[in-house]
Homo-oligomer: A and B are copies of this chain.
Amino acid sequence: MADRRAQTKRKPAAPRKAPGGRRAPAAQRATAAGRTRSTAADLAKQQRDISVSEFFAKNRHLLGFDNPSKALLTTVKEGVDNSLDACEEAGILPTVRVEIHQVSETRFRVAIEDNGPGIVRKQVPKIFGSLLYGSKFHRLRQSRGQQGIGISAAGMYGLLTTGRPVLITTRTGRTSEAHQLELVIDTRKNEPKVKRDEVVPWDREHGTRVEIELEGAYRGGQHSVDAYIRQISLANPHAEITYVPPRAEEHGASHVFPRVTDAIPPETAEIKPHPYGVELGVLMQMFRDTRARNLKSCLSGDFSRISPRTAGAICGAARVAPTRRPSEISREEAEQIHQAIRKAKIMAPPTDCIAPIGEALIEAALRAEVKADFYAAVTRRATVYRGNPFLVEAGLAYGGDLPGEEPITVYRYANRVPLQYQQGGCAITRAVTGTDWKSYQLQQPRGALPIGPALLMVHIASVWVPFTSESKEAIAHYPEIIKEIRLGLQECGRRVATHIRRRRRDADEAKKRAYIERYIPQVAIGLQKILELSDGERDQVVANLADVLARSRKM
């Protein structure tokens, strides 16, 4: 990614001497005739630190701001993610309002308002005005945001493209005042600058409203804000979301996506790192930082699922005294302990740190989304990748209004957030295309999505979702994750296959039956002629035969 040695340098008029008038060093004399280029001394001159905001301002595509329409979507996403997270952590049923006002042809003002717990005044500047600041990064717990970048990156993009500051209004409760701040991020220092700061009247008892003005574009289609809002409400049935699109007169006034349930997702616990996922370097770091007085209590105290007994066993296997002071453990000893941990039998991490949507709610959400003949939902048991607990859910709607002759639609979710870009690069897509749908009665071109009237919804919940990029568009191809998804899909597949087969059998049956029915009268007439039956007897025969046919079908 970077060469830190190379340096720029204006070509001097005449070949220059090395500093201090000493003979120019070999590097320089070695240059091709007529050219004088940089020496190590020159190279040393212009080195400097790069602030993380300068970095992301230049590499905005890493954060999902590669083009105007995506920038608008990303801004909305970041705001809504924050609102939902904040509400849930405070145990509040989320009521979120998303407004998009079109200021000019290419300029929009996005406002996201929630009924969350609000933000303490002194935290506001850093939260919205500096990158890599937050609380979720240093813990293992399921949440939508994980990095401490999102909303301030959106604010930075707004500032870059429109020069406008971010406007925040927040209040933490009836007993406290509502604060309103205007602030910008100083990209050189990655620090906030407060432009305006005042107490304002606000009818909300508690909550936060963020307004960002940015260069953007409002589009339809699978990547649109509208699609996002629909998908996020699908995966968050406990949230009420009001959406005011731009040019309301054109796109219709505000849409309200009501709550499907009043149950807040169960509170997820924070967990300690699981020993299997810890790398040697990290382990050494933990030994340096731990508060534990000896190795044994460090192992049993700082990790999940290590009992004092297991800790003792590990020390034994590693041939390091349980009483050793962690900070004094050498690299070699740490390596022995690391290997002993790998060999030790340790329970999988606790999974109460993960909150699935649940089969019932997924099915309900799907029913609300599309009219289909058949619905299936599966919530798998939680398992582990690289020491991180995760869980897969899959929902499938089949038939009904769904278009039959196209590849199925796939909605991808991570921690209840829809993933709208990079479908091709996502572990979920890999698992879907890698599943043999033919055996589940769906057509499937080799290595592609199955064809048929189906909508598939896949959700991954984890304390740490391994996204392939900072813009959170696709999930990295961890084999453990792909396997779990596939198992979930196969379960859905088996169920829909049974449904499809039954439907086909019924159809065939019906056809046969109609066929036979057509001939019953002829048969009866034949019998009448041969046996000289009366019309009554003939009709009786028809009735009997029809009856037999009906009974044969019941069997």
Interface residues of A (CB under 8 A from B): 1-8, 11, 18, 22-23, 25-28, 30-32, 35-41, 43-44, 46-52, 54-55, 58-59, 61-63, 66, 78, 81-82, 85-86, 88-93, 116-120, 122-123, 126-128, 130, 132-139, 141, 143-153, 159-164, 172-176, 187, 205-206, 208, 215, 263-264, 267, 270, 279-282, 284-285, 331, 334-335, 422, 424-425, 464, 466, 468-472, 476
Residues A281 and B163 in contact, CB atoms below 8 Å apart:
yes
B residues within 8 A CB of A143?
3, 6
Residues A206 and B133 in contact, CB atoms below 8 Å apart:
no
Which of A31, A40, A137 has most chain B Cβ within 10 Å? Answer: A40
Choose among B1, B54, B160 the residue that contacts A472 (Cβ–Cβ < 8 A).
Answer: B1
B residues within 8 A CB of A206?
25-27, 30, 40
A173-B4 CB under 8 A given contacts A127-B47, A134-B47: no
A3-B86 CB under 8 A given contacts A159-B281, A172-B39: yes
Residues A137 and B28 in contact, CB atoms below 8 Å apart:
no
Residues A61 and B476 in contact, CB atoms below 8 Å apart:
yes
A428–B152 Cα distance when bound, in Å, is 32
A175–B29 Cα distance when bound, in Å, is 12
Shortest distance between the CB of A340 and any CB in chain B (Å): 15
A172–B22 Cα distance when bound, in Å, is 13
A127–B6 Cα distance when bound, in Å, is 11
Residues B52 and A52 in contact, CB atoms below 8 Å apart:
yes
Residues B148 and A2 in contact, CB atoms below 8 Å apart:
yes
Shortest distance between the CB of A315 and any CB in chain B (Å): 19
A175–B137 Cα distance when bound, in Å, is 48
Residues A47 and B135 in contact, CB atoms below 8 Å apart:
yes
A540–B1 Cα distance when bound, in Å, is 75
B residues within 8 A CB of A50?
132-134, 137-138, 147-148
A267-B145 CB under 8 A given contacts A43-B135, A63-B1: no
A538–B203 Cα distance when bound, in Å, is 115
Residues A139 and B8 in contact, CB atoms below 8 Å apart:
yes
Residues A2 and B136 in contact, CB atoms below 8 Å apart:
yes
B residues within 8 A CB of A141?
8
A49–B18 Cα distance when bound, in Å, is 42
Residues B159 and A5 in contact, CB atoms below 8 Å apart:
no
B residues within 8 A CB of A422?
425
B residues within 8 A CB of A2?
82, 134, 136-137, 145-151
Choose among B59, B146, B176 the residue that contacts A470 (Cβ–Cβ < 8 A).
Answer: B59
Choose among B120, B133, B138, B160 the residue that contacts A282 (Cβ–Cβ < 8 A).
Answer: B160
Shortest distance between the CB of A38 and any CB in chain B (Å): 5
Residues A1 and B470 in contact, CB atoms below 8 Å apart:
yes
B residues within 8 A CB of A48?
133-135, 138
Choose among B117, B160, B285 the residue that contacts A187 (Cβ–Cβ < 8 A).
Answer: B285
A424: nearest chain-B partner, CB-CB: B424
10 further interface pairs, Cβ-Cβ under 8 Å (given A1-B150, A30-B206): A1-B78, A4-B135, A5-B86, A7-B135, A37-B89, A37-B91, A39-B117, A44-B120, A47-B123, A163-B335
Choose among B23, B123, B130 the residue that contacts A175 (Cβ–Cβ < 8 A).
Answer: B23
B residues within 8 A CB of A82?
2-6
A44–B466 Cα distance when bound, in Å, is 27
Residues A1 and B147 in contact, CB atoms below 8 Å apart:
yes
A284-B5 CB under 8 A given contacts A38-B117, A58-B137, A135-B47: no
Residues B134 and A92 in contact, CB atoms below 8 Å apart:
no
A132: nearest chain-B partner, CB-CB: B50
A89-B150 CB under 8 A given contacts A1-B145, A49-B133: no
B residues within 8 A CB of A51?
132
A119: nearest chain-B partner, CB-CB: B5
A132–B132 Cα distance when bound, in Å, is 14
Residues A144 and B335 in contact, CB atoms below 8 Å apart:
no
Residues B151 and A30 in contact, CB atoms below 8 Å apart:
no
Residues B1 and A46 in contact, CB atoms below 8 Å apart:
no
A6-B37 CB under 8 A given contacts A61-B476, A187-B285, A470-B1: no
Shortest distance between the CB of A468 and any CB in chain B (Å): 7
Choose among B37, B61, B92, B119 the residue that contacts A30 (Cβ–Cβ < 8 A).
Answer: B92
Choose among B3, B187, B215 the residue that contacts A144 (Cβ–Cβ < 8 A).
Answer: B3
Shortest distance between the CB of A481 and any CB in chain B (Å): 12
**Shortest 7 CB-CB distances between A and B: which pairs?**
A25-B173, A31-B91, A1-B150, A160-B281, A40-B172, A37-B91, A2-B145
Residues A90 and B27 in contact, CB atoms below 8 Å apart:
yes
Shortest distance between the CB of A432 and any CB in chain B (Å): 16
B residues within 8 A CB of A152?
4
A281: nearest chain-B partner, CB-CB: B160
B residues within 8 A CB of A164?
331
A120-B41 CB under 8 A given contacts A1-B153, A424-B425, A468-B61: yes
Shortest distance between the CB of A12 and any CB in chain B (Å): 13
Residues B4 and A133 in contact, CB atoms below 8 Å apart:
yes
